[in-house]
Structure 1
Amino acid sequence: MKKIAQVIVDMPLMQTDKPFSYDIPKHLRDVISVGSRVHVPFGNGNRLLQGFVVDFLDETDTALKSVAEVLDFEPVLNKEQIELADKMRHTVFSYKISLLKAMLPSLLNSQYEKLLIPRETLSEDDRQVIFGSQFSLSANDLDKTLENKVTRLARSGQIQVDYLAKDRKTIKTETFYNVNKQRLSEVDLGNRAKKRLELQQYLLENSQDGKIAELNKCFSSPVVKYFIEHGFLETYKVEQNRSDDYFGRVEETDFLTLNAQQQNVVDSVTEKIGQESKPFLLQGITGSGKTEVYLHIIDKVLKLGKTAIVLVPEISLTPQMTHRFISRFGNQVAIMHSGLSDGEKFDEWRKIKSGQAKVVVGARSAIFAPLENIGAIIIDEEHEATYKQESNPRYHARDVALLRAKYHEAVLVLGSATPTIESRARASKGVYEFLRLTQRANPLATIPTVQVVDFKDVIGQQEASNFTPVLLDNIRDRLAKKEQVVLMLNRRGYSSFVMCRDCGYVDECPNCDISLTLHMDTRTMNCHYCGHQAAIPNVCPDCQSRSIRYYGTGTQKAYDELEALLPDARIIRMDVDTTRQKGAHEKILETFGNGGADILLGTQMIAKGLDFPNVTLVGVLNADTSLNLPDFRAAERTFQLLTQVAGRAGRAEKAGEVVIQTYNPNHYAIQFAKNQDYEGFYNYEMDIRRQLSYPPYYYTVGLTLSHRDETLLVNKSYQVMEKLRSYLSEKVKILGPTPKPIARTHNLYHYQIIIKYRFEDNLEAVLNDILEWTQEPDNKDLRIAIDHEPQNMM
């Protein structure tokens, strides 16, 4: 029986958030499957869009458009992933096409090429001049001399501008050769063809297969081409995996012996593999050997013939973490994170899809890895906000992991020294099974001592500086002992802002309500939101005064200051600006780990997961930065950060010490971090959350509305609020609408509404109604983002 394909098309709108029916031509019936990518004509202009086949229907009498082409020999999405998108749609409030695309490497999402198509009104002469014998023409192929004429014809409606989905090149191949030695030895090339004679002699002496690219380097491509055309060389292509080199550099290691606590955790978790079970919250102090526990759990999973996913929060953690997993499990490991090129991501995805990879290690998006028969999902540093995607689709990896673990009857392990307040509350209520590691894995390693230094005590004793005398003395002591130091500053760049001391002018971004940041390496003022760049001002643009000064601090400025104070110290800097190049994270950490630097100075990325036995001092240059943010999680984030960075000290036999510099030494987050007292912080913070009706006592949804016209935006925001009040019960708390803390970026104003609720049956319906309302003609330039459980209130 002829079937009808149900296709979700690549057009993220409320009106298209459903499958459309397409006839399947006879020649495609044997190659199309549920989960296949297709190109289909859509809309009045019949432009081709990419889509995904999500189901089949029986034959219908209705006249339908036909699938234009199938893009894959095998489906790229499996049944679980299609069902997963359906489930996520209820809480993520993103369209299904966006959810499905998020599950695939970007190379599998079609590009859209601008096309020119002649209308019937176009004269035959003009059509011939522009299009020749073709009916449509890519805008990229347009003759430059015709551009003005084509623009004029397009405006008059005689040429239609459309977009055509084009499949992207995905597989990387390399061309190899083998030598036809008999033919080559018989041919006489003559004495005048010197290069050809050299290549002939080389191939006769080295007749094993090789790469054409290597021959081209040594003998030039025209010479090599001559040998191919005359049959002396036969060529063939070999598919290349773009990440194979990384695996070849990792040496195999043995499993470590677990202590009693670690073994108890492994046993408790592995006995539940293959059963429907509660998630496990593993709270282990820094240095307690959580990673080794993960490795033993996965070893058991593999022995049961199952697969595993391990998520890490930061790209900076990935080199060390992937190194440990590859050293144990070799080529069974696949790596997935944003530091890979599109091609590398695609190769790793194919490795997983084919079944070659059994263990996936990566950042947030690795949760969508197309593994079958999953036995364990592990989320390391589960408290990190980076597990929540801040752009569309706004999913939390933990929520996706819960759905996938249930589908596969896999164990889900959430590991952290400082779990989120929400996770710890769920463990206390029995929603999660609670496991603990309370001692360091290395019996000779001890918890570091923590000293809090009040910046106010040194005011007037020294010039403004990032470094108090206490911290400097400790650094000098460690340098004298040939030990290493980690220093963390919670921001990047050279200076927070530039301000005129005469009139108070601050150099701000013209597109965003935020000051520009000084970057001395590029000698520019940069906006970290929209990317705007400007020259460093020498005089005030408002009053022309030369009393313009740099205020605040950043890693580059701290680096310069430290270099002046300690000229003999070898300092290495690690922040967003020094790690832009591919592989930079790994190179910096390798240099530091091999003793190539005495001091590692960086931002938050150095606070977590790093394990260097010679680090005995950790300094936090300013603990207050994250305390003062307008976010109810500010104290929690500060406590977690300080506890995590403190855990980088004293991880081996040498004792460790931590120095925390602050203007708020008595703040509860800093005091509990000083005492490494998670339980004390948890109980204190829970009381505050209860009083203020915040998670975990309430769920939250954030709505952000954006528009270029602030007056119109305010009006629309209040319309949304009225919709919410009309549909939702009186038990729901609605905050706003108010301007966001950073009220304008990219020339758009932003207002937010926060919904706090416990149980609300109508919530999903009203939020979908608001999505549909924003697509009405009157709201065409209004943007809205719906964020379930927002992790960032900025």
Structure 2
Amino acid sequence: MRIAKVIVDVPAKQTNRPFDYAVPPHLQPWIDIGSRVGITFGPRRLQGFVVELLDGEAGHESGQGSDASLWGAANPSGQEPGVTRDAGQAKRRHVKLKAIEQVLDPEPPLNKELVDLARWMGSTYICPEITAMMAMLPAALKANYERKVEWSDPRESRQASAPGLLPEEERLAAFIRQKGPLTLEALAEKFPGQTHVIRSWLAEGLLTEVQTMKDRLSKKTVQTAYAALPAEELTAIARDLPASRARQQMLLERIAALPAGEGIAVAELLAETGASASTVKTLAGKGWITVEAAEVFRDPYAGRYFERTQPLPLTPEQQQVYDEIADAVDARRAETFLLYGVTGSGKTEVYLQSIQRCLDQGREAIVLVPEISLTPQMVERFKGRFGDLVAVLHSRLSTGERFDEWRKIAQGRVKVAIGARSAIFAPFRQLGLIIIDEEHESSYKQEESPKYHAREVAVKRAEAYGAAVVLGSATPSLESYFDTRQGGGIRLLRMAARVEGRPLPEVYVVDLREELKEGNRSMFSRRLHEGIASRLEREEQMVLLLNRRGHSTFVKCRSCGYVSGCPHCDISLTYHQVNRTLRCHYCGYTEQEPAICPECGSTHIRYFGTGTQRVEEELAKLFPGIRVIRMDVDTTTEKGSHEKWLTLFRERKADVLLGTQMVAKGLDFPHVTLVGVIAADTVLNLPDFRSAEKTFQLLTQVAGRAGRHHLPGEVVIQTYTPEHYSIEAASRHDYGAFVQRELEMRRTLGYPPYCRLILVTLTHEQLPLLMKTGERLAEQIRVQGQLLTPALELLEVLGPVASPIPRIKDRYRFQCLVKYRGTADVASLVSRTADLLGEHLKQHKLQIGIDVNPQVMM
């Protein structure tokens, strides 16, 4: 007998371990490690994943199995009846194991490497293994669970017409027996007056509540016509048909012309020939053709033509970098490279040729780019080089399109996956290369459980396959750059010059304080105003960056000082002029624009701060006829909106591309000669130790959009703090100077890369309880940490203190920041400490979040 260890789809602490299930003989050929299976777990029917297979011994029976700690079954031994950690223990206890009921996929959606990776993620990022596994799968395979009722009368002889049942109750019983299991909603709709009967039957045990599951999406099929006879026979039949049956003749000839074994979609066939569906039905009835439902892949790029491109000659710098990467790929050496290349140095061409080297060896590649950089332009470059070997995974695809792109990878139909963060889990089995472009981006860190960092996951996957990892950026993260200097296992590769020796753009820093002194109260400095005017005159294009959407950042009464705030979050509401609403960008709360102050009744309501909508409005006033495309969250929600706006800009149907940070990366337009940063201080003033680094990166990246081709570029940075070292360094394109100054600051304050961090956040509706629990947790972490010396060189717990945004969605937020150095597993220590408070947290419904190596401190 075979026994499968299954991780069940219940993301809870009590169930974060494998449970034993018997594998029925008829399912054994279909079950492997990584298989998704249907099981009964306690009273529920769930999906689970097989993580290990063991050979049991004769006499082992399948049958019972539940989770006592979850369902409250009495069990003095403290062990779940019929669910054990190993087959030997099961045999000794003579328990009956429940059997796996169903295999949900013909091929396992996870391979052994991904199952092992989920286990590693569970311990590294303090999350249930099932949560890590679900993060690896497309949404279509995340089962929907429904509660239904079915007939369960133990008296099998009882009929629907049993004595004592009223006629309407007899109809209800018969309907449930015939159609069940059924949802309570379906029964209430069908029998609206029988709710009390259904409730009483549930209480008596005549009806049982069960849980069913189904995938959120099915494979797409289309009706397809195939030849039922050899092509020669079909052609002869078509030739012999009378002229009055010309449509049938055309259909037969079209199908006869298909390659052997291939079919044609009926809709396509009818469109080509002008025939009707009845004609197809007639031919099928005669046995000349067959019509079947054939599976097809949803293609987000169907109908798009990508012109095939050839590799470009490499510059000496590019060639040197390529040779280093190719050597690691050839040797199947798990090595990590940091490719530091200035904007416009040709990193993408190095990526493309390195991928080709990988494909030539029959291996596969993953390319990660930030979601905002996953532009049609980027997709076009990869599709143009590798054609149908490329799958694209990103959030703007429909659920079905994303599912089918994932299936192409799983079935080996493609060899390259390009996508945002979650594409790191592409189910390849022969990985040779992983590229992470703009590796410094904080979006590579997931903020919900599992709180993984794609960079760390990439290195772990590469170890399993002997694959190379390339981290590319014009502004590498300090942690990655520090690792190249300190023997952290990352090799530094440099590309310091732009392709063809093109100069970096000239950068001008404008002090907005001086502008105000000289009477300029416009959002545009005189230099930026002149730059826009001259570009309009020369018919060149511009990119303007303001990392703040909306019209105004807050609304204030000038009589009493009242500021419109979100009633559910401690944050001011942002004014959106398009629909005249105030909106919270954290919880989504919306209210209408106020006509009078709700505090004092004054009409002196004013709008302060500047958002992208207001910049667009001001441009139209100052430069009549200017053509502006605004790209922010508000204008890019519809599917295809990114592509639409960028295509219009590429075709020079707009003068200005205005937006938030989504316009700062991944864009290459030959006629952009001016980049303007409206307010460089928006990120700099955030309460985050990385704010200077993020400011330098954003300014350097957006500056790199100018002068990338034959026209020289100019950048205007507007700021109230021109003396800040991050802005000074960005104006000189001097990464080295910034790194030196920032590392000194980090060393002095004791922040990464000189230590590691864990952020623990507690939330609750009651502030006093939250503060008391936070203090108790912080003290317990300090006490537990004292037991880990000498493996722990430093353990410092800061807090608990209110989070920078103290309340979101009516829940107060307090956080503790754990700083540490050494080899001790502090993440597990924090997790164990939280477990000690488990009963207290559960009793008071306190929520706790543990973020290992956090990227966002808000």
Shared fold by TM > 0.5? yes
Cα distance in 2 for residues equivalent to 1:643 and 1:401: 26
Give CA deviations for 1:765-790 in whole Å, capped at 9, x if unaligned: 32332453465375252211111100
Structure 1 residues 387 and 244: alpha-carbon distance in aligned structure 2, compared to 1, 3 A threshold: closer
In structure 2, distance between residues paired with 1:691 and 1:430: 21
> Match for residue 664 of structure 1?
721
Matched, 1:347 2:408: no
Q: 1:129 aligns with which of 164, 167, 172?
A: 172
Q: 1:437 aligns with which of 480, 495, 505?
A: 495
Matched residues in 1 for 2:608 and 2:758: separation?
A: 36
Moved more, 313-322 or 476-485: 313-322
Matched residue, 2:816: 753
Match of 1:172 among 197, 220, 225: 220
SS of residue matched to 1:41: strand
Secondary structure of the corresponding residue to residue 732 of structure 1? strand
Give 1:238's match in structure 2, choosing from 285, 291, 294.
Answer: 294
Instruction: Tell me if 1:142 matches 2:187.
Output: yes
1:338 aligns with 2:382: no
From 114, 119, 124, the equivalent of 1:81 is 114
1:492 counterpart letter in structure 2: R
Alpha carbons of 1:127 and 1:321: their partners in 2 closer, same or farther (altered >3 Å)? farther
Match of 2:54 among 57, 62, 69: 57
Query: Shift of the alpha carbon at 1:587?
Result: 1.6
Output one character per residue of 1:485-527: Cα deviation in whole Å (capped at 9) or x when no partner. Answer: 1100111111112222222222222221112222223332222
Task: For structure 2, list consecutive stretches of 5 or more residues without a partner in the other structure.
Answer: 57-90, 156-163, 229-233, 256-263
Residue in 2 aligned with 1:766? Answer: 829
1:696 maps to what in 2? Answer: 753
Pairwise CA distance, 1:761: 2.4
1:37 matched to 2:36? The reply is: yes
- CA pair 762-36 structure 1, distance change in 2 beyond 3 A: closer
Distance 1:230 1:544 in 2: 79
Q: Does 1:359 align with 2:416?
A: yes
Deviation at 1:750, TM superposition (A): 1.3
Aligned partners of 2:33 and 2:53 also within 8 Å: yes
C-alpha change, 1:133 and 1:381, in structure 2 (3 Å) is same
Contact 1:488 1:601 in 2 (8 A): yes
For 1:147 and 1:25, how far apart are their aligned partners in 2?
Answer: 42
Residue pair 2:36, 2:108 contacting (<8 A) in 1 also:
yes
Q: Distance in 2 between matches of 1:206 and 1:137?
A: 44
Tell me the CA shift for residue 213 of structure 1: 4.0
**CA shift in 2, pair 1:554/1:26, >3 Å:** same
Counterpart in the other structure of 1:257: 313
Residue type of the alignment partner of 1:327: G
Q: Structure 1 stretch 127-136 or stretch 363-372: which is displaced more?
A: 127-136
Cα gap change, 1:229/1:425 in structure 2, threshold over 3 Å: closer, same or farther?
Answer: same
The answer to whether the 8 A contact 1:774-1:784 is kept is no
SS in 2 for 1:389: coil
Residue number in structure 2 paired with 1:418: 475
Aligned: 1:309 with 2:369 = no
| Alignment partner of 1:48 out of 36, 45, 63 | 45
Mapped contact 1:317–1:608 kept (Cα < 8 A): no
Whose Rg is larger? 2
- Equivalent AA in structure 2 for residue 132 of structure 1: I
Distance change (3 Å), C-alpha of 1:436 and 1:762: closer
> 1:144 is aligned with what amino acid?
E
Return the offset for 1:604: 0.2
Residue 718 of structure 1 pairs with residue 775 of structure 2: yes
Distance in 2 between residues matched to 1:441 and 1:365, nearest whole Å: 31
8 Å Cα contact 1:774-1:783 kept in structure 2: no
What code does the residue aligned with 2:45 have? Answer: L
Rate the CA distance shift 1:38–1:565 in 2: closer, same or farther, 3 A.
same
Aligned amino acid, residue 599 of structure 1: V
| Superposed CA offset, 1:575-629 (max 9, x none) | 1111111111112111111211111101101111211111110000000100110
**Secondary structure of the equivalent of 2:5?**
strand
| TM-score, length of structure 2 as denominator length | 0.86
1:743 to 797, 806, 809: 806
| 1:393–1:380 CA distance, 2 compared to 1 (3 A) | same
Corresponding letter in the other structure for 2:176: G
Which letter does structure 2 place at the counterpart of 1:271?
A: D
Deviation at 1:238, TM superposition (A): 3.0
In structure 2, the residue corresponding to 1:400 is in which secondary structure?
helix
Partners in 2 of 1:248 and 1:451 — Cα distance?
41
* Contact 2:151–2:177 under 8 Å retained in 1: no
CA deviation after TM superposition for structure 1 residue 150, in Å: 3.6
What code does the residue aligned with 1:738 have?
A: V
What is residue 641 of structure 2 aligned with on the other side?
Answer: 584
Helix, strand or coil at the partner of 1:508: coil
Name which of 132, 157, 162 aligns with 1:99.
132
Match of 1:493 in 2: 550
Task: Describe the superposition over 1:454-484 as per-residue Cα deviations: whole angstroms up to 9, x where unpaired.
Answer: 1112226557432122101101111111111
CA distance in 1, matches of 2:303, 2:251: 29
SS at match of 2:380: helix
Q: In the superposition, relative to structure 1, how do residues 548 and 109 fare at CA in structure 2: closer, same or farther (>3 Å)?
A: same
CA distance in structure 2 between the aligned counterparts of 1:11 and 1:298, rounded to whole angstroms:
39
Show the counterpart of 1:477. 534
1:393-404 correspondence to structure 2 within 5 Å? 393-404=450-461
Q: Aligned to 1:458, which of 512, 515, 518? A: 515
CA RMSD of aligned residues (A): 2.8
User: Which is worse superposed, 213-222 or 684-693?
Assistant: 213-222
- Paired with 1:789 and 1:590, the residues of 2 have a C-alpha distance of 38
Q: Secondary structure at the match of 1:638?
A: helix
Deviations 1:717-774 (A, max 9, x none): 2222122122113830101111111111122221111100002525243233245346
Give CA deviations for 1:306-343 in whole Å, capped at 9, x if unaligned. 21111101244342222111111111111111111111
CA distance 1:466–1:142, change in 2 (3 Å): farther
- SS of equivalent residue, structure 2 residue 301: helix
For residue 505 of structure 2, what is the aligned residue in structure 1?
448
Q: In the aligned structure 1, how far is the partner of 2:511 from the partner of 2:416?
A: 46
Give how far 1:71 is off. 0.6
1:454-603 correspondence runs (5 A): 454-459=511-516, 464-603=521-660
Q: CA deviation at 1:229?
A: 8.3
Given candidates 87, 102, 109, the residue that maps to 2:142 is: 109
Question: Does the residue aligned with 1:84 lie in a helix, a strand or coil?
Answer: helix
Name the aligned partner's letter for residue 371 of structure 1: F
- 1:440 touches 1:446 (CA, 8 Å); kept in 2? yes
Distance 1:774 1:591 in 2: 56
Q: Does 107-116 or 774-783 show the bigger shift?
A: 774-783
**Equivalent residues of 2:372, 2:665 under 8 A apart:** no
* TM-superposed deviation, 1:219: 8.7
**Preserved contact between residue 571 and residue 600 of structure 1 (Cα < 8 Å):** yes
Q: Conserved in 2, the CA contact under 8 Å of 1:571 and 1:601?
A: yes
Q: Closer, same or farther in 2 for the Cα pair 1:524/1:233, shift >3 Å?
A: farther
Letter paired with 1:743: P
1:262-301 → structure 2 map (5 Å cutoff): 262-273=318-329, 274-301=331-358
Deviation at 1:101, TM superposition (A): 1.0
- Contact between 2:217 and 2:400, CA under 8 Å: does it hold in 1? no
Is the 1:247–1:330 Cα contact (8 Å) retained in structure 2?
no
The one-letter amino acid paired with 2:24 is P
Is this contact kept in 2: 1:154–1:160, CA < 8 A?
A: no
**Deviations, residues 200-236 of structure 1 (Å, cap 9, x unaligned):** 6544445525544468899999867975885597422
Q: Deviations over 1:164-194 (max 9, x none)?
A: 22234331122234699899999999xxxxx
With normalisation by structure 1, the TM-score equals 0.93
SS in 2 for 1:245: coil
